[in-house]
Chains A and B, each alone.
Chain A
Amino acid sequence: MHIPDGLLDPITTIVLWIITIATMIFGYFRMGKMFEKEDSEKFVPYIGVLAAIIFAFQFVNYPVPGGTSGHLVGGTLVAIILGPWASVIVLFLILVIQSLFGDGGITVLGANAFNMGIIGGIVGFYLVMLFVRLLNKTKMKKEYKLTIATAIGSYIAIVLASFICGIEIAISGTIPFEIAVPAMVFWHTLIGIGEGIISALIVFYIYKTKPEFITTESMLKVK
Chain B
Amino acid sequence: MGVIKRNKWPLITILIIIAALMFVIAVGFTIGFLSENPDGLERVLIDYYGEEWLENLFSPWVPFLSWLSNDYVAGIVGIILSIAVLTGTFYLIARLKKKKVTQSGLI
Interface residues of A (CB under 8 A from B): 1-7, 28, 31, 35-36, 38, 40-56, 59-64, 66-71, 89-90, 93-94, 96-102, 105-107, 162, 165-166, 169, 174-175, 179-180, 183-184, 187-188, 191
Interface residues of B (CB under 8 A from A): 6-7, 10-11, 13-14, 17-18, 21, 24-25, 28, 33-45, 47-48, 54, 57-61, 63-66, 68, 71, 74-75, 78-79, 81-87, 89-91, 93-95, 97-98, 100-101, 106-107
Query: Do B59 and A97 have beta carbons less than 8 Å apart?
Result: no
Name the A residues within 8 Å of B106 (CB-CB). 36
A52, A89, A107, A191: which contacts B39 (Cβ < 8 A)?
A: A191
Query: Do B79 and A67 have beta carbons less than 8 Å apart?
Result: no
Known: A1-B40, A55-B79. A41 touches B91 (CB 8 A): yes
A interface majority secondary structure:
helix
Some 28 contacts from A to B, beta carbons below 8 A apart, are: A2-B41, A5-B61, A7-B57, A35-B93, A40-B97, A41-B94, A44-B91, A45-B13, A46-B10, A47-B86, A50-B86, A51-B86, A53-B17, A61-B35, A61-B37, A63-B33, A68-B37, A69-B37, A70-B40, A97-B82, A101-B65, A106-B63, A162-B41, A165-B41, A175-B44, A180-B44, A183-B48, A187-B43
